[in-house]
Amino acid sequence: MLDLSYYIIVSFSILLFAISKSGFSGGGLALISVTLLSITYGPLTAIAILMPMLIVCDVIALYLNRKYFEYKILWSIAPYSLLGVIAGTILFKFINLSMISIFIGSISLLYVVFNYLIVDTKLKKIPFYGSKSFWGALAGFTSFVLHSGGLPLNIYFMSIYNKKIQFVAGVVFSIALINLFKLVPYFYLEILDFDKLYNYLIFSPIAVIGVILGHWINSKLSDNSFFMIINIFVVIGSMRLIYLGVMGL
């Protein structure tokens, strides 16, 4: 019997996730998507469903932003993201996801608050401000265990970019690289297999539509409006992570 609710929930979640993968919402919509799938089908199933969509979204997003990559900056953060993925692989079966959620949510929330309350001359004195090693490793780790690597990457790229096209390109490229790093460990841990990969790819048209829609939304926003929305969604996503972490303790 056809489970219509399954296709509706998964399709809606993938659409939100794909819009976020365009660089819009600062990972907030992606977090809502992951949360919905995790609550409904469990966290491992959520990861398995979204991983094929990540590949599809990354290909489209990379193509749409291909003119704006600053490769020297992007490749410089990549080794730290790889270290984060390796740490996630080693610790995946032992870590407390609730504590990780609280930590990531708290540090991202505090960073946004500091960004608005501290004057520009003191902003760079914030701990880990613009640290590619800290935010890169954190992005790789949290992307592996929670599919929420966008929050740390947003914090890092907001510290070096004030133009949305550069910011979006940086986030898109870095997340795509992290997702590439994650593929082999996911197969090794049996989170993903080729049957799951094939079965979930039926939702790929929705992912394509979502990325294109998010890219179109981005094009209609000014830089100031874009970053205001990014910060709002980072706050929402951070608070959601904290809430889920506390409820899971």
Question: pLDDT digit string (tens) for 101-135?
Answer: 787 778 777 777 766 655 455 555 566 677 899 99
**3-state DSSP assignment of residue 162:** coil
Instruction: Provide the terminal-to-terminal Cα distance of the chain, rounded to the nearest Å.
Output: 37
Neighbours of 114 (CB within 10 A): 15
Q: To which residue do tokens 């951070």 refer? A: 238
CB 229 within 8 A of CB 23: no
Give dist(CA 92, CA 230) in Å, integer: 29
- pLDDT grade, residue 2 (50/70/90)? low
Q: What is the percentage of the chain residues whose pLDDT exceeds 90?
A: 14
User: What's the whole-model pTM score?
Assistant: 0.79
Q: To which residue do tokens 């910060």 refer? A: 231
Per-residue pLDDT, 87: 92
Question: pLDDT digit string (tens) for 25-51?
Answer: 556 677 677 777 777 777 777 777 888
DSSP string, 41-85: H-HHHHHHHHHHHHHHHHHHHHHHTGGG--HHHHHHHHHHHHHHH
Give dist(CA 213, CA 19) in Å, integer: 6
**Mean pLDDT rounded to a whole number for the chain:** 81
Per-residue pLDDT, 84: 94
Average pLDDT of the segment spanning 141-153 = 80
CB 140 within 8 A of CB 81: yes
CA distances, 103 to each of 44, 46, 119, 142, 237 (Å): 21, 21, 25, 10, 13
Minimal CA–CA distance to 175: which of 211, 204, 219?
A: 211
CB 245 within 8 A of CB 237: no
